[in-house]
A and B are shown apart, each in its own frame.
Chain A
Amino acid sequence: MEVQKTALYNYHKNLGAKFVPFAGYEMPIQYKDGIVKEHISTRSHAGFFDVSHMGQFFLEGDETLIESLEKIIPADLKNLKVNHSKYSFLLNNEGGIIDDLIITRTEKGFCIILNAACKENDIKQISQFLKKNHKHLLNNDLSLIALQGPKSVEILEKLIPGVANLKFMTGSNFEYEGENLYVTRSGYTGEDGFEISISNTKVEKLIDYLISNEVKPIGLGARDTLRLEAGLCLYGHDLNEKINPVEANLKWAIAKKRREVGGFNGWEKIKNLLANGSEKIRVGIKPDGKVIARENTKIFSPDNNEIGFVTSGTFGPSVNAPVAMGYVKSEFSEIGTSIQLEVRGKKYGGKISELPFYKKSYVK
């Protein structure tokens, strides 16, 4: 398959981006400032992220569309209000996570934001449940820009009046340069911020404005350190088809009503796990020293029994210490439990830690 590029590819190049292949796209991993500075400037001011590689999947249909989607998505879509968003999943028959996603109710149906590496398969999986009168479109004419950080609201409100009124996990249509754009208050960094769906033809103009307001470009490298400090999962690492939402410690994302009534893929299994607990569970991990426990690091109990593995690990610039997430046997999941991490053949001490590692409050 040919490597794909987002509409901003040349723009990134001019900003001094270093590119890496990611999910079939050439994406910036960092710019001139480097990962740590990009991370810090997002937390202290604001940064923008080109996340146009993610799928913007639009669905339209009558009320039967809700029934169809609820077979594979465990959110309460019936009671999801227009312009409100939920974090949820596509589930397989075993309750495994095919992808994690954000679903927003629109006037005519739904918009689902899908992970770039999963989007083709996701659409295949969703389509199985769709009826003839349900229309769907993966819109590649749209870019998706995340604006994240404490100054985001002040900066975007000047350009697009009204966005300051959005509450966390809600969105609305706005006008910009004579075109419609859709803005949600959401993100993947633990900071206040927005995600802006904008046509490929207008996106450069938006970025010009952000840069003129000292908003720095942020690459995938800092996106990863920011989301990990915020305790957020990365699909393909912390989540996959063999892991279910209970093991992933994401049962909060399964709507209460749907836990009881079911009617979605893998419900039997998930119902059982909700009642009895799972064998392993996702936890936060803090190494005691400076050593970084990266993905696939083995986790041991203090008496040297293997109890789990790391799925994401890095140095957290705002925490100023290494941070990690992984799966351990449930009896070792209590916060403060001592563990050992095997790095390059040597065992280092660590502790099960609260998630997120870095906390800020969203605008509710």
Chain B
Amino acid sequence: MSEKKFSKKHEWVSLDGDMATVGITKHATEMLGDIVFVEVPDAGKAVEKEGQAAVVESTKAASDVYSPISGEITEGNKAIADDPGSVNTDPEGASWFFKLKIKDKSEYDSLMSKDEYDKFCKENPS
């Protein structure tokens, strides 16, 4: 598995060959608060880079989750749909959102490294 890369919309991606795993960052969960609903995409769905792919809702509001990378969904994580609160406890581990088969590795390469992302969050507090 490759190192995690990060998007400005607070998603993370890890890559294993041409299979990517996507989730939302710990920072995102801290901004959202208590997560109470998650909708993940079904296998077979095509997603574009920065296109809407999943939904996450906290007690406060609903937010879209975007795919930081183009490809075809191979699996949505049903476990987090059944237990949305688990996204708060392990967002960058077991509580990934979806896996997809990617088309273009350069999209992955252009994302931020961990250090770049941490810096981005510091400079863009919300």
- Interface residues, chain A, CB within 8 Å of chain B? 29-30, 34-37, 221, 225, 290-292, 294, 314-315, 317, 322, 344
Contacts and interface: CB of A to CB of B under 8 A. Distances in A.
Nearest to B38: A290
Contacts of B57: 292, 315
B117 interface: no
B62 A294 contact: yes
Given A291-B37, A322-B37, A35 B62 contact: no
Contact of A36 (B59, B61, B62, B81): B59
Interface string B58-96: 111110000000000000000001001000000000000
Contact of A292 (B33, B34, B62, B81): B62
B102 interface: no
B62 A315 contact: no
Contact of B59 (A221, A290, A291, A344): A221
Given A290-B81, A290-B84, A314 B59 contact: yes
B112 interface: no
Interface string B34-63: 101101000000000000000101111110
Q: Which 4 A-B pairs have the closest CB atoms?
A: A315-B36, A36-B34, A35-B59, A34-B33
B60 A292 contact: no
Nearest to B85: A36
Interface in B1-60: 33-34, 36-37, 39, 55, 57-60
Nearest to A343: B62
B36 to A, nearest CB: 4
A35 B60 CA distance: 8
Interface residues of B, number: 14
Contacts, number: 41
Given A34-B33, A35-B60, A344-B39, 17 more contacts: A34-B34, A35-B34, A35-B58, A36-B34, A36-B36, A37-B34, A221-B33, A290-B81, A291-B37, A291-B39, A292-B36, A292-B57, A294-B62, A315-B36, A315-B37, A315-B59, A317-B34
Interface of B: 33-34, 36-37, 39, 55, 57-62, 81, 84
A156 to B, nearest CB: 28
Contacts of B39: 291, 344
Given A35-B60, A221-B60, A290 B55 contact: no
B37 A225 contact: no
Contact of A225 (B55, B59, B61, B84): B59
B32 to A, nearest CB: 10
Nearest to B88: A34
B31 to A, nearest CB: 10
A36 B81 CA distance: 18
A314 B61 CA distance: 9
Given A29-B60, A290-B84, A35 B33 contact: yes
Nearest to A344: B55
A221 B59 CA distance: 8
Nearest to B32: A34
B30 to A, nearest CB: 10
Contacts of A315: 36-37, 57, 59
Of B36, B59, B60, B81, most A-chain CB atoms within 10 Å: B59
A290 B38 CA distance: 9
14 contacts: A34-B33, A34-B34, A35-B34, A35-B58, A35-B60, A36-B34, A290-B81, A290-B84, A291-B37, A294-B61, A314-B59, A315-B37, A315-B57, A315-B59
A322 B36 CA distance: 9
A294 B37 CA distance: 12
A35 B124 CA distance: 24
Contacts of B36: 36, 290, 292, 315, 322
Contacts of A314: 59
B33 A30 contact: yes
Contacts of A34: 33-34
B111 to A, nearest CB: 26
Of B36, B37, B55, B84, most A-chain CB atoms within 10 Å: B36
Contacts of B84: 290
Nearest to A36: B34
A29 B61 CA distance: 13
Contacts of B33: 30, 34-35, 221
Contacts of A29: 60
